[in-house]
């Protein structure tokens, strides 16, 4: 039956940035659908893990700074494999944003954002894909894009470049990993109320301008993204790969 294809019983998911915001919703959604979940944050996501364990699912928090993913990714994946036995789903959600005008944007802000938002998904996906290929049962990798994968925005050159890049990387990974039964897609959230967007929600003029452009007439919530995450993590999406799916209250249609 169709709803059975959305179930994740017996699957092991890795979710980065699962301690708060959108990543916490992804981790809970995957657990509600049946998966065990390894969370990866700078500050271990103990509250998320407790909520997953309360659902009766296995969960464990890993404290890793993904700005050093080039060296941290493989040891992290090895530890998760040792603890959980396998990896079926990777959600590259952790992300940061720095807001300064283009001409004043520092090399540090540029480098920090690219490291977490683009390089970390590259290195983590590389390590996870090798594990999935060795398991021989396919897998699912979900990257997190943005409206800035489609638009330039203002004040956020590093973020826009990282989110444009993640859309392209998603397509390349989809092409190369398809023969192994691994599907790679990206979710492009619209404007979602989290810590990441608190500064623009606190600016009355900017907040109103954004609201006026969203056909749904409201900011999104992390819970608005749970359905697409489970779909892309599950066999229900097995013929879908290389896509970047906007979940934006209609923003891009406007
Ligand atoms: P958030 O509330 O600011 O949470 C960011 C998460 O990423 C936290 O759990 C944080 O962990 C983790 N993180 C940040 N830097 C890290 C690092 N160096 N190593 C490991 N973990 C790190 O962000 P959000 O709004 O939920 O956004 C989640 C994702 O969705 C991001 O990729 C973001 O770009 C994307 N997105 C958000 C929106 C939106 O409107 N909010 C829209 C489009 C796309 P700690 O708590 O340990 O710092």
Which domains does the chain carry? 2-249 (3.40.50.720)
- How confident is the model over 147-177, as pLDDT tens digits? 999 999 999 999 999 999 999 999 999 999 9
pTM: 0.99
Output the CA 125–ligand 1 centroid distance in Å.
17
The residues annotated with a catalytic role in the active site are 159
Cβ proximity of 138 and 152 under 8 Å: no
Residue 44 CA: nearest ligand 1 atom is 47
Residue 115 CA: nearest ligand 1 atom is 18
pLDDT of residue 64: 98
Tokens of 104: 């004043």
Cβ proximity of 72 and 66 under 8 Å: yes
pLDDT of residue 171: 99
| Residue reference for tokens 């959604």 | 29
DSSP string, 52-96: HHHTT--EEEEE--GGGHHHHHHHHHHHHHHHHS---EEEE----
Q: From CA 57, how far away is CA 54, in angstroms rounded? A: 7
Taking CA atoms only, the protein residue closest to ligand 1 atom 9 is 17
pLDDT of residue 36: 99
| Residue reference for tokens 């006026």 | 212
Output the CA 1–ligand 1 centroid distance in Å.
35
Q: From CA 171, how far away is CA 177, in angstroms rounded? A: 10
pLDDT by 10s per residue, the chain, length 254 = 999 999 999 999 999 999 999 999 999 999 999 999 999 999 999 999 999 999 999 999 999 999 999 999 999 999 999 999 999 999 999 999 999 999 999 999 999 999 999 999 999 999 999 999 999 999 999 999 999 999 999 999 999 999 999 999 999 999 999 999 999 999 999 999 999 999 999 999 999 999 999 999 999 999 999 999 999 999 999 999 999 999 999 999 99
pLDDT of residue 52: 98
Ligand 1 pocket: which of 21, 73, 119 to mutate (most atoms <8 Å of CB)? 21
pLDDT of residue 202: 96
pLDDT of residue 129: 99
pLDDT of residue 168: 98
What's 220's DSSP letter? B
Cβ proximity of 179 and 133 under 8 Å: no
pLDDT of residue 196: 92
Ligand 1 neighbours (beta carbon < 6 A):
16-17, 19-23, 41-43, 65-67, 93-96, 116, 144, 146, 189, 191-192, 194-197
């Amino acid at each position: 039956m169709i709803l059975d294809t959305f179930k994740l019983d017996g699957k092991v998911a890795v979710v980065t940035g699962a301690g708060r915001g959108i990543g916490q919703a992804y981790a809970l959604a995957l657990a509600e659908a049946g998966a065990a979940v390894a969370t990866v944050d700078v500050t271990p996501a103990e509250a998320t893990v407790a909520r997953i364990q309360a659902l009766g699912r296995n969960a464990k928090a890993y404290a890793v700074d993904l700005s050093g993913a080039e060296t941290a990714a493989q040891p992290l994946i090895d530890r998760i494999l040792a603890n959980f036995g396998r990896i079926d789903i990777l959600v590259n959600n952790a992300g940061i944003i720095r807001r300064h005008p283009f001409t004043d944007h520092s090399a540090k802000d540029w480098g920090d954002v690219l490291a977490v938002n683009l390089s970390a998904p590259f290195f983590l996906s590389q390590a996870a894909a090798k594990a999935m290929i060795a398991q021989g049962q396919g897998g699912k990798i979900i990257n997190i894009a943005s409206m800035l994968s489609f638009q330039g925005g203002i004040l956020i050159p590093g973020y826009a470049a990282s989110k444009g890049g993640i859309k392209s990387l998603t397509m390349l990974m989809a092409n190369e990993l398809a023969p192994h039964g691994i599907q790679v897609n990206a979710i492009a959230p619209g404007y979602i109320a989290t810590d990441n967007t608190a500064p623009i929600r606190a600016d009355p003029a900017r907040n109103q301008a954004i609201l006026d452009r969203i056909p749904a007439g409201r900011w999104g919530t992390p819970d608005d993204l749970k359905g697409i995450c489970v779909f892309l993590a599950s066999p229900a999406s097995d013929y879908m790969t290389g896509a970047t799916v906007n979940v934006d209250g209609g923003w891009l249609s406007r």
